[in-house]
Structure 1
Amino acid sequence: MANVGENSGEKTPVYGLKVYIVIGICMFFVVASVVAIVFCLYSKRKSSKRKMHLKGDSGEIPTVSKEVTDVKNMDRKETSKIAFTVNKERNEKGFGCVNEDNVIYIGSGSAESTISGDTKSTSSVVSSDMPNIGWGQWYTLKELEVATGGFSMENVIGEGGYGIVYRGILPDNSVVAVKNLLNQKGQAEKEFKVEVEAIGKVRHKNLVSLIGYCAEGTRRMLVYEYVDNGNLEQWLHSDLAHISPLTWDTRMKISIGTAKGIAYLHEGLEPKVIHRDIKSSNILLDKRWNARVSDFGLAKLLGSDASYVTTRVMGTFGCVAPEYASTGMLREGSDVYSFGVLLMEIISGRSPVDYTRPPGEVNMVDWFKGMVASRRGEEVLDPLIKVLPSSRALKRALLVCLRCLDLDASKRPKMGQVVHMLEGDDFPFRADNRSQRDKASSLAGPTVTNKDSTQA
């Protein structure tokens, strides 16, 4: 020991340092190396655990379900997720993509496939630490109860098989429409998912904007901008129609606005949105008679690589395209046909199906085609229209109806073309200087060549 102590004071060849100093430096580097190795191993293990948590048992990071997609013009960089805890006893596909950890993810997804309105749903509880999905507002059930006065009947502004719509006032005094979806055999979950997917981020002046949502337990609610002048059905068929009938110009403005909204769904988005339930009660109106297409609970997404999607037939009797009703093949032309029925309803003031009318007039489409084929086009006008349109304007509107209602879906125009036809004055009509009586008798003459009119 004495030798060691004596030797430790001797100088070494390393920069002339003494032995104990060299030993101390070596010990320091050894300890530092051990600490660095332990830290690296710990960090690697922690990272591995985190990846395994994201990947789950399958070893792959769950991708967004093809059933949860955003439209083309949404910001692809915005990717958000909502974590739900899912009832493990019901291993069914619900709102989003369920992985092995029973976590559901939502975000910007593929724009290639269609969504299924017939998918089974799951009962889920919203995670409190995930307030929204990156857009709009996530409302609690309590907030919407307060806004609607406890969902009081005096605030009901609409009701149907899908649920009940309430007028609500938020704390910032903004007025909204709250759709409380009825949970019948999981239908609330389906409609909630479909509407968020179809128009969650879409903004267009002729589409009702979805501004928020609520999902607590089995309750599903959607919060929309409030449109303050009722719907088209009320203005055509309720007491409002007699108290303040719509003029021809107002009806055409509503028709063009509706056509623009549908055209945007078909031609301005990827994947395109097929509404599947175009009818007068789903066309909301503001004080300036601007039309807003609403209620996307039955909508389907159609990718650019597909011309149709086969699905369960749903819609409103009298408004559904015949080929869709018979085959279940849904395409753009299905909405075009429904728009043709709607335009006919706007022109005539009649309901698509009315059992109070004589047998030959119960079905509006059959009656309409028969009247045009008999050259009685002016007689289809709603009697409440006080100032009649010009023969040219009426002929244009009737022609658009017939083209949209063509039994051959491939011959129907695109909705963009419908907008062009309704707005423009470029039909190949000849200059007409005949008497008013001759014009009326030839209203549905050679210019109207749609084969349906000859078969009616």
Structure 2
Amino acid sequence: MEFYFAVLALACLQSFVLSDFQGEALASLMASLNATNDQLMGWNPNQVDPCTWSNVKCDPNNNVVSVTLSSMNFSGSLSPKIGLLRTLTTLTLRGNGITGAIPEEFGNLTSLTNLDLENNRLTGQIPASLGNLEKLKFLSLSQNNLIGSIPDSLSTLPSLVNLQLDSNNLGGQIPPALFQVFNYNFTGNKLNCGINLPYPCASESGSSSSSRKSKVGIIIGVVGGLVLLLLCGMLVFLYKGRQKGYRREAFVDVAGEVDGRIPFGQLKRFAWRELQIATDNFCEKSVLGQGGFGKVYKGVLADGTKIAVKRLTDFESPGGDAAFQCEVEMISVAVHKNLLRLIGFCTTPTERLLVYPFMQNLSVSYQLREIKPGEPVLDWPMRKKVALGAARGLEYLHEHCNPKIIHRDVKAANVLLDEDFEAVVGDFGLAKLVDVRRTNVTTQVRGTMGHIAPEYLSTGKSSERTDVFGYGITLLELVTGQRAIDFSRLEEEDDVLLLDHVKKLEREKKLDAIVDRNLNKNYNMQEVEMMIKVALLCTQASPEERPPMSEVVRMLEGEGLAERWEEWQHIEVTRRQEYERLQRRFDWGENSVYNQDAIELSGGR
């Protein structure tokens, strides 16, 4: 019995000593990271057993085996005492603001299989001691400020299968043996990647040539099968479209467009510094525009590619990286010639950025109202082309995406123009993207006054018909060149809203007075009337009465507008007669028999 208690006491003592030094190591890490109790809940330095602390996992013997602290907005450095955790297998500190050097003591973590320090502000050299981590399989030091050469000792790691060192300030020659790692990335450094070395700087697999050939064969087979299926589907689709008596646009979004600029499914995750350099440190001179979601900066990548970087401003706190990336990837699936293609994105603990191709002719809003002297005016044929292209882009979002995508801010400023003046709808999905981190059920109203549908403004509930309303206002902008809200009209009339102004002129049969003067009467009046009719159908007060975008496309192509317009005119006449009858019944003049105060509904009881 005495022997039993002695053994039990010894076990307890060992457990206490074990917990004591592990707790000391983690408490030291907490202090060096400048972490608060809110960030690391339960990390109590006075409590020696760290196995109950948040983000810490232990094995059955109370050995700490995992510490995962991603995107928590730390501001300090790494403690050398972390090297005491000899049983640690996973250490993840990505997406924080950690500064300073990687301690040499990290080489003591001999059980480590996963070390992730990506997207911090680490400086200094990569410790050669990391070559001691014989069990290490994954090593990511991407997106830091590390300098010097890559230690030869990393070449001796027998278990390494994934090595990410991109976007640092590393120099010198890459140890040739590292190109045998299954997956590697050395891009965004000053390394010798191609000179004297027959290797690329990044790999998808790093596998052998026979394995690559096998994968290529599989890919070719799969792609070939998909193409055959798609061609068959398109033939059936076109055949059915002819039977219905109208032309529908055929498109395929599985492999993206065939121009090869940005292949489908190849979203790039940019480093913060890469976009910082491209935009000249987000200089105000680089600003292309500003809206409810943030500023857009013009940039030029290292290879000369012109880009537009949208820096989102609606993230109140750090985190949400996975949710953001999920939404970005969902939006990137929408590939259509009339939708702005997403190139990539960038996330840091406090920043979210989206990267798009630069649109040579900027936006419809710019072409209508901000062109410089000497620049050509957007002529009428171009305006018709823009109207139809934007309609097709929205039709795709509403009726061919699964799940459907609602834009929620359709306006001339968000319809961009490429080098051929083809309409490209931008900013689609951003409202949902920005709201993805919110926990409340009701989404806040997003959009631009004058373009917001009345039901969305009053209830906060959006649908594809709210986009139809915004599109109708955009058509009026194309015809008139005017803004959706213009307070200068107060001097002559009461119609501040462009929609009310156009409705009045349409009733008075004076539409020629509203056409953009910059066109110098170089337009077809019948086509102007057609576009205004479509716009008024799109901006009806009741969302149920607005046509879907597929019908809008057909009407712009000359099919079905006359019937729909006649039906709407009948409804409008009936509605106006009822309104005038009520006006006569409730005469609020001085001689009225009704007392205004008597029908006050909100007074005190």
**What is the match of residue 173 of structure 1?**
304
Say which is worse superposed, 165-174 or 204-213, in terms of deviation: 165-174
CA contact (8 A) 1:277 1:315 kept: yes
3-state SS of 1:85 partner:
coil
Q: 1:452 to 1:446 in 2, by over 3 A?
A: closer
Q: 1:255 aligns with which of 384, 387, 390?
A: 387
One-letter code aligned to 2:340? V
Matched, 1:414 2:551: no
Aligned position for 1:339:
471
Shift of 1:163: 2.4
Residues 347, 183 of structure 1: CA spacing in aligned structure 2 closer, same or farther, 3 A cutoff? closer
Matches within 5 A, 1:60-99: 85-87=70-72
Contact 1:189 1:220 in 2 (8 A): no
- 1:284 maps to 416
Asked if 1:153 is matched to 2:153, the reply is no
The alpha carbon displacement at 1:157 in A equals 1.8
Match of 2:535 among 390, 401, 408: 401
Q: Which residue, out of 549, 569, 572, partners 1:449?
A: 569
Q: CA deviation at 1:365?
A: 0.8
* 1:235 Cα deviation after fit: 1.3
1:233 aligned residue: 365
Shift of 1:399: 1.5
User: Amino acid of the residue matched to residue 237 of structure 1?
Assistant: R
Q: Give 1:380's match in structure 2, choosing from 497, 511, 514.
A: 514
Q: 1:125 Cα deviation (Å)?
A: 5.9
Greater alpha carbon shift after TM alignment, 242-251 vs 321-330: 242-251
* Residue 350 of structure 1, aligned match among 482, 496, 508: 482
Is residue 72–residue 319 contact of structure 2 (8 Å, CA) maintained in 1?
Answer: no
Distance 1:338 1:347 in 2: 15
SS for the counterpart of 1:384 is helix
Structure 2 equivalent of residue 245 of structure 1: 377
Q: Are 1:204 and 2:336 counterparts?
A: yes
Change (3 A) 1:159 1:402: closer
Give the share of equivalent positions with the same residue, in percent: 35
Q: Is the 8 A contact 2:72 2:318 kept in 1?
A: no
User: Displacement, 1:317?
Assistant: 0.6
For the 8 Å contact 1:404–1:413, the answer to whether it is kept is: yes
Q: TM-score, normalised by structure 2?
A: 0.48
CA distance, structure 2, for counterparts of residue 448 and residue 231 of structure 1:
32
Normalized against structure 1, the TM-score is what? Answer: 0.63
Task: State yes or no: 1:274 paired with 2:406.
Answer: yes
Alpha-carbon distance, 1:344 to partner: 0.9
SS state at 2:569 partner:
coil
CA contact (8 A) 1:192 1:222 kept: no
Residue 212 of structure 1: how far off its partner (Å): 0.9
Measured after TM superposition, the shift of residue 319 of structure 1 is 0.4
| Pair 1:325-2:457 in alignment | yes
Is the 8 Å Cα contact of residues 345 and 354 (structure 2) preserved in structure 1? yes
Q: Distance in 2 between matches of 1:163 and 1:194?
A: 20
Deviation per CA, 1:315-345: give whole Å up to 9, x if none: 1111011011111221111000110011011
State the alpha-carbon separation in 2 of the partners of residues 327 and 349 from structure 1.
30
CA separation in 1, counterparts of 2:560 and 2:572? 23
Closer/same/farther in 2, CA of residues 103 and 235 from structure 1, 3 Å limit: same
1:265, 1:391 → 2: CA distance?
31
Q: Aligned pair in 2 of structure 1 residues 446, 294: CA closer, same or farther (>3 Å)?
A: closer
Residue in 1 that maps onto 2:504: 370
Measured on the aligned residues, the alpha-carbon RMSD in Å equals 3.7
CA distance in 2 between counterparts of 1:265 and 1:185 reads: 28
Distance 2:382 2:370 in 1: 17
SS of the residue corresponding to residue 210 of structure 1 reads coil
Distance 1:419 1:366, change over 3 A: same
Q: Could you tell me whether the CA contact under 8 Å between 1:407 and 1:452 is conserved in 2?
A: no
Change (3 A) 1:182 1:391: closer
Cα deviation for residue 194 of structure 1 reads 8.3
- Structure 1 residue 356, shift from structure 2 partner: 1.5
Q: Counterpart amino acid of 2:502?
A: F
Q: Does structure 2 conserve the Cα–Cα contact (< 8 Å) formed by 1:198 and 1:299?
A: no
Deviation at 1:415, TM superposition (A): 0.5
* Ranges in structure 1 where 5+ consecutive residues have no aligned partner: 1-55, 58-82, 90-100, 105-123, 302-308, 430-444
